């Protein structure tokens, strides 16, 4: 069935509610060790550190990673067909900033959003540009535009900060328990079994919630990408190519394709399920990108020139 406005908003509301519940679960897991260490003040300080760290780290770490990878900024004259696609996607997504496309000279097949909708862009690797057709790449770019549009980079940064802080606080609790072992052995202090359970399971539970949040945002970005391109088959084809490449890489590394792990240990949903959902959506010709561009969508995009690395100073400086 085609993506109607009502269905799209219903899906966004459902995924938004799931995101709120998962974030509330992460906050609750974090609050328990914070409370055990410093009472109510510990809860407030823990959540305050997470919020401050997430806002400060939502753009710096990604830029530093790109600098370490030797990434550079693709100018419009270097990739005109990709920028024409991004212009249309940004306009449909309601993003007012001019698009930025970053290039990483890596053979891996990867693309990811950098920064936020107000100060960000999309990074693509050399392997992805050489492997996907322009039609498939349009679906991938639309997926990443959706991440920028909904602030997923900041949401995931906050979730990661909660998980890391939960691990640190439980580590402090573990050290505190070790200091209390002589008193426990002497019978002067009862063994706090509830505290031991919190120390044992809080980091794992926080990690599982973070993974669930990542999968939730991927499903939402897939549906939004189809709404932007009007072409579910393009993104589905790209996902199939990425899955085949990943399978060949694992086979080369281990000598065979290892069995897949449980879904709840994945950062991304199973590719088969993502493709099944996409193929259940009909293409909408009135919004398809193919009607707005004359490029050959069945060939890789033309990159006229590869940029050089921009250096650390460029990545640390915020976009004006």
Q: Which residues are catalytic?
A: 144
Is the CA virtual torsion 63, 66, 72, 75 positive or negative? Answer: negative
Q: Which two tokens stand for residue 105?
A: 């000279």
φ/ψ (deg, to 5) at 97:
-70, 145
Give dist(CA 184, CA 287) in Å, integer: 69
């Amino acid at each position: 069935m085609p993506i109607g406005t009502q269905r799209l908003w219903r899906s966004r509301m459902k995924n938004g509610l799931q995101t709120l519940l998962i974030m509330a679960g992460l906050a609750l897991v974090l609050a328990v060790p914070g409370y055990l260490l410093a009472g109510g003040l510990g809860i407030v300080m823990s959540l305050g550190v997470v919020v401050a760290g997430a806002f400060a780290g939502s753009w710096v770490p990604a830029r530093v990673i790109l600098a370490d990878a030797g990434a550079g900024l693709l100018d419009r004259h270097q990739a005109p067909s990709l920028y024409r696609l991004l212009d249309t996607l940004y306009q449909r997504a309601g993003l007012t900033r001019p698009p930025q496309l970053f290039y990483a000279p890596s053979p891996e097949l990867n693309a990811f959003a950098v920064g936020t909708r107000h100060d960000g862009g999309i990074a693509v690797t050399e392997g992805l540009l050489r492997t996907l057709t322009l039609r498939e790449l349009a679906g991938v770019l639309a997926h990443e535009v959706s991440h920028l549009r909904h602030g997923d980079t900041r949401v995931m940064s906050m979730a990661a900060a909660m998980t890391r802080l939960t691990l640190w606080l439980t580590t402090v609790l573990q050290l505190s328990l070790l200091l209390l072992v002589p008193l426990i052995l002497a019978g002067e202090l009862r063994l706090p079994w509830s505290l031991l359970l919190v120390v044992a399971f809080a980091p794992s539970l926080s990690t599982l919630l973070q993974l669930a949040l990542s999968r939730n945002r991927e499903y939402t970005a897939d549906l939004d990408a189809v709404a932007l391109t009007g072409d579910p088959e393009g993104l589905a084809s790209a996902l199939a190519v990425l899955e085949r490449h990943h399978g060949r890489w694992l086979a080369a590394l281990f000598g065979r394709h290892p069995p897949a792990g449980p879904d709840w240990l994945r950062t991304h949903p199973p590719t088969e399920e993502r493709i099944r959902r996409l193929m259940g959506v009909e293409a909408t010709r009135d919004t398809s990108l193919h009607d707005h561009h004359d490029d050959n969508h069945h060939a890789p995009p033309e990159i006229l020139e590869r940029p050089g690395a921009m250096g650390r100073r460029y990545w640390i400086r915020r976009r004006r």
